[in-house]
Amino acid sequence: MELNELSIKLATFETEGVGFESFMIANPGEQDVLQVIVDGNDELPIFVTQTQEQLLCISYLFSEEEVKADLKDELNDTLLRLNVPIPLSAFAKVDNRYAIFGALSVSSSFDDITHELVTLADNAIEALEAITPYLND
Amino acid sequence: MSILKKLFTAVRGGAREAGEAIVDANGIRIFEQEIADAKNALQKAKRNLTEVMAKEMQTTRKISALNDSISEHEGYAGQALEKGNEALALEIAEKIGDFEREKAEHEEVLGGFSQHIVALKQQIKEAEKSIKENQRQLSMVKTTESVQQATMAVNSTLNTNSSAMTSARASLERIKQRQQDRQDQLGAAKALESETNGDGLKAKMAEAGIGGTDTNSADILARIKAKKGN
């Protein structure tokens, strides 16, 4: 599914009790990125990018600088351990930012995509809540 | 060096500059060309394989036909000998010799075909494996590039946005506040609804023992009993 098409479909769609807002990020000639806000949570938007094989949904959680220096190793270790039990999403790092993401096959159905987005949004909030003790006050 | 190893080195410690390509565009084009070439070679090998397999079948058929002719003529030669016609038997034997020579030639060709088939099958397997491998690696490179480009786009959006990367703590608090607000709104809406329905007032009146009290079965029974008593 093209990101444009996805954006249009999301606008009028509601699932698992939540609605979506989405818009394409202006990035002429370069990689298309769709910004999706699930259930009005502007602070944790999901950025959707399509590559040849997969649809990547990424939500940025916090930057490296926000982590308490003495707890960084422990945090990294914990995040690695959480990757398997956390449903559909995994933790990652892009540049200096920690992120949570999900990767879907490009042939995924619209329902698969919305389920992924809702799950990712929930996971992002829950993860942030759980990780707060590791962050600077 | 495998692409994953390259990527591993490139991202280790975040040493790479943002926007710096891991494999330059030209490298990607060469990679794609290699995949396309391998696919062409695969197509050709498959076509060759079907041709050689057809030829192998033809040759096998010819050999079995020759085998039939040989045993047939051996029968004829036997019959000629039974009839004491040595000369004819000899002539037939020469014919059998021709068949056998022809058969030997075909068998040699057949051996060549069979070997060729084994080699082609091996080639096809290898080509398929290498195409798959190259595609997987290319996909890794391309994904990394896409994520990089996407990140740059995201960065510029976040930077122009007033809600730029504030601290995660603050974000979380705002989200939780919003969730609480929503909960409160929902609660308020419910309260308002029951108020407008008069449920609230009725409940208050009932509590004060005013208004239509609920008739319960005990009351009904008492009423019936009273009627009977009349």
Are B146 and B51 found together in one domain?
yes
Are B111 and B175 found together in one domain?
no
Are B143 and B206 found together in one domain?
no
Chain A residue with minimal CA distance to B177? A41
Is B84 touching A (CB cutoff 8 A)?
Answer: no
- Mean pLDDT in residue range A28-57: 87
Residue B88 has pLDDT above 70, yes or no: yes
For residue B209, CA distances in Å to A118, B182, B213 come to 50, 36, 7
User: Residue B160: its pLDDT value, please?
Assistant: 61
Asked if residue B52 is part of any domain, the answer here is yes
Contact between A129 and B172 using a beta-carbon 8 Å cutoff = yes
CATH number assigned to the domain comprising residue B140: 1.10.287
pLDDT tens-digit readout, B105-125: 999 999 999 999 999 999 899
Is A27 touching B (CB cutoff 8 A)?
Answer: yes
Are B16 and B41 found together in one domain?
yes
Domain boundaries, chain A: 3-134
User: Residue B162: its pLDDT value, please?
Assistant: 46
Contact between B169 and A52 using a beta-carbon 8 Å cutoff = no
Contact between A43 and B151 using a beta-carbon 8 Å cutoff = no
User: What are the strands of the beta sheet with A46-50, ordered from one edge?
Assistant: A14-15, A18-25, A33-38, A46-50, A54-63, A97-105, A90-94
Asked if residue B50 is part of any domain, the answer here is yes
User: Residue B219: its pLDDT value, please?
Assistant: 78
pLDDT tens-digit readout, A107-132: 999 999 999 999 999 999 999 999 99
Contact (Cβ atoms closer than 8 angstroms) between residue A43 and residue B171: yes
pLDDT tens-digit readout, B14-70: 555 545 566 666 777 888 888 888 898 899 989 999 999 999 999 999 999 999 999
Q: Which residues of A touch B178 (CB under 8 A)?
A: 40-41
Contact (Cβ atoms closer than 8 angstroms) between residue A136 and residue A68: yes
* Interface ipTM: 0.73
Highest mean pLDDT among A73-87, B171-185, B201-215: A73-87
Asked if residue B215 is part of any domain, the answer here is no
Q: Is CATH 3.30.1460.10 the classification given to domain A3-134?
A: yes
Asked if residue B75 is part of any domain, the answer here is yes
Q: Which residues of A touch B172 (CB under 8 A)?
A: 43, 125, 128-129, 132
B18, B146, B176 ranked by CB distance to A49: nearest: B146
Asked if residue B218 is part of any domain, the answer here is no
The whole model's pTM is what?
0.64
User: Residue B11: its pLDDT value, please?
Assistant: 67
Contact between B147 and A56 using a beta-carbon 8 Å cutoff = yes
Asked if residue B53 is part of any domain, the answer here is yes
Are B81 and B36 found together in one domain?
yes
pLDDT tens-digit readout, A57-80: 999 999 999 999 999 999 999 999
Asked if residue B230 is part of any domain, the answer here is no
Domain extent for B194 = 169-210
Are B176 and B108 found together in one domain?
no
Could you give the number of structural domains in chain B? 2
User: Residue B23: its pLDDT value, please?
Assistant: 60
Asked if residue B219 is part of any domain, the answer here is no
Is B163 touching A (CB cutoff 8 A)?
Answer: yes
Chain B residue with minimal CA distance to A134? B169
Contact (Cβ atoms closer than 8 angstroms) between residue A22 and residue A10: yes
